[in-house]
Structure 1
Amino acid sequence: MTFGSTAVGPSVGQRWRTARWVILALVAITAVSAATALLTGARPGARMDPRSTSPDGALALVSLLRDAGVEVIEADRLADVERNARPDTLVVFTETYLLVDDDALRRLSAIPGDRLVVEPVSRAREALADGLDVGPDTSFGGDPDCDLRAAERAGRTRLDTAVTYVAKGLEIKGADVTRCYGGAVARYTRDGRTVTAVGSGDFMLNADLAKEGNAALAMNLVGSRERVVWYTPTLVEGDSDASASITDLIPDWVTWVVAQLCLAVLLTALWRGRRVGPLVAEDLPVVVRASETVEGRGRLYRSRRARDRAADALRTGALNRLLPRLGMNATTAPSAVARAVADRIGGDPNAHGHRLFGPAPATDAELVTLAHQLDDIERQVSQS
């Protein structure tokens, strides 16, 4: 008896042992891809956000600080700053336009440690850097021109326009203010605390950090302590309804810009409002007799004592009627017209020229006499 051989396929267990390695490999590849995308992908955020990789973020500077051994604590709430700040800590204040509550500013001013205030608005500057006043804007860049070690070691920088700061004078006692880069960076020490104000934070951003000495200046200013609390509020701190209005969020220069625009609009309205535009020709609703028009125009000339205009009108009308009868036109010389009139009706050509082209009469009586003389000349020429 012969038995045929039977083929037996792989069991379920064998199939699972083979497939699980494929599944584990796919899971590992997916996890590595997700981690890579998370670590290297763009992380948007607010301006000066220490976690943002956007051009306006500050992750590059924070990464350099951590590589240099500086402990950087990211804080986006006031409570986080109060919890992590110590006397040996540097607190970096950014986006201060969100600090609208007086109580929040008082709490921040009471926090121990040094301060670096970046682009402070007026309320924040008065609370956190009360030894400084705002000066004129300047071009932030070039040599530091000061004896501040952090700026001297950084050397030349390259940035755009920045706010400058000056000392308040007698209001800041026991403090020696050091101004660098034309006042765009100012520092003073009082009560054992070092306060630094920067009129522009562009040199700390990811986009501008690599320009000239920007990175060195940022590292020297922020890395002056081994522990840094980087405070970038993402929401309005404090009760804005109780102690602040919308004007507290507007920079000081915006008020002057709006005032100038309002003045420009007012002047434009006054300028354009005085113009009545061109005259519009319209048909008269009734027919006015010529005698009435002449009489009305004569009264206007008389009321304004415009004897010169009246004489010019009389002579122009007379010449317009005489020249065609004499075979002449408007380009004919006055002397030739006077001789032609004399040849036609007789008389002295100079007398006729005086009547047709002479000066304006000095009195109303002379104007009436001139009208009669012109009428007489025109009548004689037409009858000759």
Structure 2
Amino acid sequence: MTSVSPDARRIWHGVRLPLAVVLLLVLTGTLLVLFQGEQTTGALEPGSYEPGGSRALVTLLEREGVEIITVRTAAEADDVAGKATVLITQPSYVPKRTFTELRRIASDVVLVQPSAGTVDEVLPGVRVTGELETETRAPDCQAKDPVAAGSATMGGLKYSATQPRALECYGGSYLEVPGPQGTVTVLGAPAPLTNEWLADEGNAALAMRLLGKHDRLVWYLPTPADPFLENEKKPLSELIPAGWSYAALQAGVAVVLLALWRSRRLGPVVTEPIPVVVRAAEATEGRARLYRKAKAAAHAGETLREAARARLRPLLGLTRDAEPAALVESVAARTGGMPAEIGALLYGDPPADDAALVRLADGLDVVEREVERS
């Protein structure tokens, strides 16, 4: 007899091709990771090649000899910001005292899309006046860097300032605020600094002039996880205006009064007379009439037998799944009847007419009574 079970050789011939494909894929992925090196992702990340990243701008700045230092906490920024340009990508996560210190020690500061609350807190006299669509815009101002760069992709938030020497460009999406130590530049949108838009219009020229003025550039990427922010957190009660507290109190009182007004008031139980008295046997009689009208004597007989068997089993100590022979023998032993007659009564042929159905019902009734009495 020849064995048809696969041996090791047959198994190897069957799996070697899929195994080779899997190994090739794993090897290719490993080589790609090794050759590409570590990559970062995220908006304005200096090492990100994504459209929203800034790897292209970082490469241009490094070619011009600018040393770029990436920091992510306020403590790191304070240590290296001296005599450097500081780019803050998320000004909302920078506390006021940190910004004040950076502005004091840094040569220039560039803020990317600070919110209305941020400029109110860290730049007195500057406010957000609206939003602009991000598109190609002319400088329309006298600021040196925008004039030299020409048209650029600008938009986002629109700013204005009350300081007499502040310069608004690109429809208000670029703002220069001079200070005692250096200039604070506010950008309404990050587009000119990103890989996606850097090669368009004068974006590269504008970004290079803004961030390449000094030998060092501190690329500050604030995050909510900065330990320095733990001391700046405020409880929710301090963030809610006083007027809202009074409004919430009034609303709570109104809700309580409304609940008291609309709540259900329980009184004594009220009896209600039943309009119609229905006999308990009416459903049974109605079902019998339906069987009679349909001439379903056989179905009615099986229904009666099943009901009788269900009542007899617990009386005889039998389970629901007891065999018919066991039920017949138990009934015959209890009543003294003949097993053949008991079997014909409980499991016999269906009744052919109403008269046979009546005889079947009487016989089942007699058997049940005898079992109960014995």
Calculate the TM-score normalised by the size of structure 1: 0.49
Give the TM-score taking structure 2 as reference length.
0.50
